[in-house]
Every structure is written in structure tokens, then in C-alpha cells.
């Protein structure tokens, strides 16, 4: 059974919801932000921030408890707003914070990583982030629907480093 840190999990979601207010923060993007947060942190410090495990699904790495935590938070700490899109596009679900995030639940290193992830991915869409995650070793080396091994983070290229090759 996965041992998540629910306080950090919820506050990471609140952090991203507060920080990324340019209309690009839907569920797909949030799930990828959590993935990059946990895997970048693991690569640097040997542990994840949320404690969740990630599954290799078609739309990229998905945190096992992500949907459950969002449902628990919806209407209390966050609001999931559905936006109708023009015909031919999927409707979007945007995540908006209802309360402030609590920086006290994070270490200094975790706050720095949250800031780094938000800054790096802020302007990207969820689809662009999905495509970036599909180019990494954790995604490539994992069978569909399997749990992604955190240790595979040591074998990935950073998305921006790949662009410079």
C-alpha cells in the first residue's frame, strides 16, 4: 500500500493552483506537475515529496492517489471548474485554489523544487507536458499500466537538456 504524505500532497496541489494562474492548469497538467515534482526531487534527494507512486497510463505518468486527493479537496480547498471548449476539443477542467497553501509543511529544498517546477512548466500545456514525460526513461522503460520505478529517474534527460542536444 502506498504511504502518501497527504498534507504535502494537498499543499503541493494548492501551491501549483496558486502559482499557475494563466489558464493552463487542468487535471492533465497538474498530474504531470506532481510527476515532475516527485521524480525531480527523487533524482536530487533520493525520496519523493508526496510519497505517491505513479502508473504508466496512455496520457503519461499518473499519481495513483491523484484523483482521490482532488475529489477530497474539491469544494473545500480547491474548485475544479469545467470550461466548455469549441466543438472538436475536449472540455477543460481548471483547478483554482480556495485556500492558501501552507509552506510550513515543506522543507526548504521542497519549496525550491516546487518553485523550480512551477517556473519551468508554467507556460506549457498539459499535452506538451505529457509529450515531455513520454520522452523520459521512467515512461519508456515501464510497461503500460505498471508502476513506474522512481530509480528510473536517474536515467532520464531533462526536457530542456534534450532540446539543447
User: Is 164 domain-assigned?
Assistant: no
Domain range spanning residue 20? 6-154
Is residue 59 in a domain? yes
User: Distance of CA 25 to CAs 47, 79, 81, 112, 163, Å?
Assistant: 25, 12, 11, 20, 23
Whether residue 162 is contained in a domain is answered as: no
* CA atoms of 64 and 97, how far apart (whole Å): 22
Say if 159 falls within a structural domain: no
Q: Dump pLDDT digits (tens) for 115-146.
A: 999 999 999 988 899 999 998 999 999 999 99
Does 165 fall in a domain? no
Given a cut of 80, whether residue 46 has pLDDT beyond it is yes
Question: 82 in a domain, yes or no?
Answer: yes
Number of domains in the chain: 1
Q: Is the pLDDT of residue 16 over 70?
A: yes
pLDDT of residue 159: 44
Q: Residue 90: pLDDT band by 50, 70, 90 thresholds?
A: low
Residue 20 within any structural domain of the chain: yes
For the purposes of burial, counting CB atoms within 10 Å of the CB of 84, is it exposed (0-12), middle (13-18) or buried (19 or more)?
exposed
What is this structure's pTM? Answer: 0.90
Mean pLDDT of 45-53: 96
Q: DSSP assignment, residue 155?
A: G
Amino acid at each position: 500500500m502506498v504511504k502518501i504524505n497527504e498534507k504535502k500532497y494537498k499543499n503541493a496541489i494548492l501551491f501549483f493552483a496558486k502559482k499557475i494562474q494563466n489558464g493552463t492548469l487542468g487535471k492533465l497538467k497538474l498530474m504531470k506537475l506532481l510527476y515532475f515534482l516527485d521524480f525531480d526531487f527523487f533524482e536530487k534527494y533520493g525520496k519523493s515529496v508526496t510519497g505517491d507512486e505513479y502508473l504508466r497510463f496512455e496520457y503519461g505518468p499518473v499519481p495513483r492517489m491523484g484523483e482521490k486527493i482532488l475529489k477530497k479537496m474539491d469544494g473545500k480547498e480547491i474548485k475544479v471548474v469545467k470550461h466548455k471548449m469549441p466543438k472538436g476539443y475536449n472540455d477543460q477542467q481548471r483547478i483554482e485554489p480556495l485556500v492558501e497553501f501552507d509552506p510550513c509543511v515543506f522543507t526548504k529544498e521542497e519549496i525550491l523544487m516546487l518553485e523550480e517546477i512551477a517556473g519551468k512548466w508554467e507556460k506549457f500545456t498539459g499535452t506538451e507536458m505529457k509529450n515531455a514525460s513520454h520522452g523520459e526513461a521512467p515512461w519508456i522503460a515501464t510497461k503500460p499500466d505498471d508502476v513506474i520505478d522512481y530509480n528510473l529517474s536517474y536515467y532520464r534527460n531533462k526536457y530542456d537538456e534534450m532540446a539543447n542536444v
